[in-house]
Amino acid sequence: EEIIVTEERLGTRLPPSYRNFLKVTNGLNNWHLGILGFYPVNEVNWFSQTHENWINIYLNSSRCDARIVIPDEAYFVYGEMQETYSFRVEYLASALQISMADEGEVVLLNPEVISNGEWEAWIFSDHTGASRHRSFSEMFQVNGLMGAWR
């Protein structure tokens, strides 16, 4: 199965809701403004492998100073009260890129924040920062899109 091959290549097991999505869709085109589509499983890769320069720009940016420590009480705020520039820049280096990047926007899964086996999901943008969700499925629910893959 392609999912298992990809997990072996990446050296990790993918989160359950994202695995279910891949089993049903194996990617998806034209999901959201700025997002061309989700990669098929064989194209999923670590963000650092495909966009090291993007990470370095953020790590060296005065706008998002990587030396600033964001406390948990500020970081773990989701929904409308979330400040999209309050994200931990260092997590970009370990994030998994699951969508095509377009107009400075990409969808990432964050293995640094895991709850019940689910990785935090980000809609990451040059313009607005990271819109973070507790899981891949929550990201779809918040954006009013929930499919049969759930």
Give the relative orientation of helices 2-10 and 16-25 as an angle to the nearest 10 degrees.
140
Q: Which residues of the chain have pLDDT under 50?
A: 33-34, 148-150
Domain span holding position 118: 2-142
Q: Let me know if residue 147 belongs to a domain.
A: no
Q: What pLDDT, on a 0 to 100 scale, did the predictor assign at position 149?
A: 43
Q: What is the pLDDT of residues 15-54, one digit of tens each?
A: 999 999 999 888 776 555 445 688 999 999 999 998 888 7
Answer for the pair 15, 117: CB distance below 8 angstroms, yes or no.
yes
Q: Let me know if residue 74 belongs to a domain.
A: yes
Q: What pLDDT, on a 0 to 100 scale, did the predictor assign at position 67?
A: 58
Domain count for the chain: 1
Q: What pLDDT, on a 0 to 100 scale, did the predictor assign at position 56?
A: 79
Q: Let me know if residue 148 belongs to a domain.
A: no
Q: What pLDDT, on a 0 to 100 scale, did the predictor assign at position 9?
A: 97
Q: Let me know if residue 101 belongs to a domain.
A: yes
Q: Let me know if residue 120 belongs to a domain.
A: yes
Q: Let me know if residue 85 belongs to a domain.
A: yes
